[in-house]
Amino acid sequence: MSYPTGTMIGMSDDWTVERHLEDKPAEVVALYDRFIAIATRCGPFTYAVAKTAITLKGSHRGFAGAAPGATRLDGYFDLQRQVDGPQIRRSSPYTRKLFVHHFRVTHLDQLDDDFAAWIAEAYEVGQGAHLNRPAAP
């Protein structure tokens, strides 16, 4: 698979998707590829690749990100509400209108329909959906 590139702002050290996936087990690469496939079904986005994560950006803001590890895929996504599931490690308010959700997956079946629906919601945040709705109570 061909991956996009990005540069850490203000640093001379280039980070790429390939560099993040370098020397990772095939299972972790498969998790990352499935995560990207789920996001790609939502619509177009760009990448911001840094040392700590690969961020997916909509037309207004980043909406999700991933950090491939030695045995798992960690990441995050932003929603206008809190959700809970076996993939969610923690969630917390990020702004008045958004909650950041940190996830961890170790098996492809964890990237299920619920997870895909959350990424679709997060994609809408990346497109600016949170700008048109009142803050959550």
CATH number, domain with residue 118: 3.90.1150
Strand order in the sheet with 73-79: 46-49, 54-57, 62-68, 73-79, 99-105, 88-93
Q: Sign of torsion, CA 18 22 24 26?
A: positive
pLDDT tens digit sequence for 82-126: 999 999 999 999 888 899 999 999 999 999 999 999 999 999 999
Residue 12 lies in a domain: yes
Residue 136 lies in a domain: no
Residue 45 lies in a domain: yes
When divided into structural domains, the chain yields a total of 1
Residue 137 lies in a domain: no
- Determine the structural domain holding residue 65 and report its residue range: 5-131
Which pTM was predicted?
0.86
Q: Can you tell me the distance from the alpha carbon of 87 to that of 85, in angstroms, rounded to the nearest whole number? A: 5
End-to-end CA distance of the chain: 43
Residue 43 lies in a domain: yes
pLDDT of residue 131: 80
Q: Can you tell me the distance from the alpha carbon of 44 to that of 56, in angstroms, rounded to the nearest whole number? A: 10
Residue 93 lies in a domain: yes
